[in-house]
Structure 1
Amino acid sequence: MNNTDQLVHWLLGSLELQTTVFHVGQYCGRWRASTAGRALGSFHLVLHGDCYLHLEGAEPIALQPQDGVFLLRDIPHFLSPEQERTAVLPQVAMLPLNAAAASDATGLACGYFHFRTALSALIVDSFPDYVILRADDPSLRAARALLNLILEEGGDDPEQPSPLIARLVELLFFYVMRHVAQSDVVASGLLALARRTEFKPLLDHLMQAPGENWSTDEMARVTHMSRASFYKHFVDASGQPPAQFLLSLRMKIAAQHLHAGESVERTAEHVGYRSHAAFSRAFKKVIGEQPGAYRRGVRARDNLRQLN
């Protein structure tokens, strides 16, 4: 497994995602569907038929059966069967997937997702606003099997979809995120650095020994660059200065150790902090809560999942 693949697996292993399916069914005639305006990520999966995704300031995107859209941020958008951005489209009721429908009917599974922890939100910061899943993409063959299972679970009531669909969509999300992480669309952050040959040895060192005294000069030495050249190229690739990036990386690693049950004291030492107070301040700055509270929250969520 190469450096980038290891990093992708490490990041995906840190994501905590909760999915809610809003409705599963089909539209006929002229219609408009959107999940915008709720300050959540969302998705639309095309189960059968064709439609268009309309985004502000962009050309309509044609969607075909088993294509999908994952909107990682809440951005204005809507789906419709028409390529033109019609000013007014009627609000029509969604029919069950198994209901008799016209040949131009479009089956959709739509819903929302949010990231349970601040760490999860940090991980997707470098991803684009939206991701298009294409049914004919050979690198997503396994994802197509999940789409077929979602179609089988469609049910009779568009407003009361099977709870299994939410779990299937979560699995689908991880396939899509891995696909995106390994592509060229990630513009900044950890994954962008991992794709730059000159920074791969540095990333490996930072992840293996985050607690070492990593000054900018030392990081430049590992990459065999001058300090000025390293700083410029690093900021271009990651979108942030080396010190800020290092802080973020250390706290992401710390969050993973806390998630695994390690004590706050041992975690702080692993990422280079001898002072509990200094570690707590740094952790709260990046993750958004105190390390002890984060650890307790993870354990509470794990216990709840076991009960369910």
Structure 2
Amino acid sequence: MFLLAVDSNADNDLKIVHSSFFIVLFVMFNIEWLLDNLTIQNTVYHMGKYCGAWKGSTAGAGKASYHIIMEGTGWLHHGSQPIPTFLQEGDMVLFLQDCPFVLSGFQDREEAFDAPQREMQPMTYKDEEGTALTCGFITFTSVVSKMILHFLPQMILFRKQDDHSGSVRKLVDVITQEAIRTDHKSEKLVVSLTEMIFFMVIRQQFIAHPLISPLGRVPVSKEFLHLLAEIVLFPDRDWTVENMAQASGMSRSWFTQRFSQASPLSPADMVRHVRIALACQAIDDGVSLTECAEKVGYQSQAAFSRAFQRVTGETPGRYSRKSNH
């Protein structure tokens, strides 16, 4: 993973900051900060039991989704992966981006995709071979949340055995009890419970796989965190000083004054560093140099190469060869 070196004299503890006013993203991406800044809107859209031959999917909805196995078992067929994933009671799948997948009672891929999309039965329906699910959509409601999402995997699989404290299991049991109530059911309560499970699973993901941003040493103040998130999400925009000031909710003159006080980088330098950091991440993921240049806002390979060399000290081609090895 490529970490930007803004200050060549920085020590290994990333103490490149001249005052406590700055945040260094590598340090900032700790679990507490991530959970505090990850804001979501949760909608439960399915809570019931599939019986007989069945399949379910939210692919194509354009939203992040989650699927909790409340009872029984099933199989996850994800994208073009040839081997399905077995799921059982207590497991949860988070799709943080819309992607092709099918949940089904069939292990065989062809049978799974050919299975009918049935209506769910109530949780109380008596079928020992049925599979009970609670499913919902997640919307990330802030720009900073979407920036965090940019560095998370497309899918997170949470296994029952990962629930070391038993907290998720207890919440699943409460959801089940709420689902089988015959009166005074509360959808709001189920939404709150599933949201708690979502954050517990995300926390476990951060613990097991610490989030390391390719923006490792790009210093930015809290004042400009929203702007940074916008640049990360839309690096190909024309990030003039006027556009950055507008994104920060400031006049051009006030933005220029505050930015110069808050950062050792100029606005143009920050955009360049963010773009090249994202380009390095894309190269590491196997994206071609031509596509990388376009994705991060460079109209020509020559301009991309100059910016890349200015930030990293090497050409994109050389970095790509090292990355591939």
User: Normalising by structure 2, what TM-score?
Assistant: 0.58
Matches within 5 A, 1:11-30: 11-30=34-53
- Root mean square deviation of aligned Cα: 3.7
Which one of 181, 192, 200 corresponds to residue 212 of structure 2?
Answer: 192
CA contact (8 A) 2:90 2:160 kept: yes
**Which residue of 2 is the match for residue 35 of structure 1?**
58
Separation of aligned partners in 2, 1:46 and 1:130: 16
1:192 deviates by 2.0
CA contact (8 A) 1:140 1:175 kept: no
CA contact (8 A) 2:221 2:262 kept: no
1:250 deviates by 7.1
**Which residue of 2 is the match for residue 74 of structure 1?**
98
Separation of aligned partners in 1, 2:166 and 2:177: 18
Q: 1:179 to 1:4 in 2, by over 3 A?
A: farther
Per the alignment, in what secondary structure is the counterpart of residue 192 of structure 1?
Answer: coil
1:109 deviates by 0.5
Give structure 2 stretches of 5+ with no counterpart.
1-25, 230-248, 276-325
**Which residue of 1 is the match for residue 133 of structure 2?**
108
Give structure 1 stretches of 5+ with no counterpart.
194-237, 257-262, 287-308
- Matched to 2:224, the amino acid is M
Q: Does 1:252 align with 2:225?
A: yes
- Matched to 1:84, the amino acid is D
Separation of aligned partners in 1, 2:221 and 2:130: 47
**Which residue of 2 is the match for residue 47 of structure 1?**
70
CA contact (8 A) 2:219 2:263 kept: no
Q: Does 1:61 align with 2:85?
A: yes
CA contact (8 A) 1:23 1:161 kept: no
Separation of aligned partners in 1, 2:148 and 2:204: 15
Separation of aligned partners in 2, 1:23 and 1:105: 15
- Matched to 1:16, the amino acid is T
Separation of aligned partners in 2, 1:65 and 1:49: 6
Separation of aligned partners in 1, 2:155 and 2:62: 14
Q: 1:180 to 1:30 in 2, by over 3 A?
A: same
Matches within 5 A, 1:198-277: 238=214, 242=217, 245-246=218-219, 251-252=224-225, 271-272=262-263
1:241 deviates by 7.8
1:155 deviates by 4.3
- Matched to 1:82, the amino acid is F
CA contact (8 A) 1:52 1:80 kept: yes
Percent of pairs identical after alignment? Answer: 28
Per the alignment, in what secondary structure is the counterpart of residue 208 of structure 2?
Answer: coil
Separation of aligned partners in 2, 1:14 and 1:113: 15
Q: How many residues align?
A: 218
Larger Rg: 2
1:136 deviates by 1.7
For each residue in 1:90-122, what CA deviation from the matched residue of structure 2 results, as whole angstroms up to 9, or x when unmatched?
1222100012x3221100001101100111011
Q: 1:253 to 1:270 in 2, by over 3 A?
A: farther
Which one of 160, 166, 173 corresponds to residue 141 of structure 1?
Answer: 166
- Matched to 1:192, the amino acid is I
Separation of aligned partners in 1, 2:152 and 2:221: 16
Q: Does 1:98 align with 2:124?
A: yes
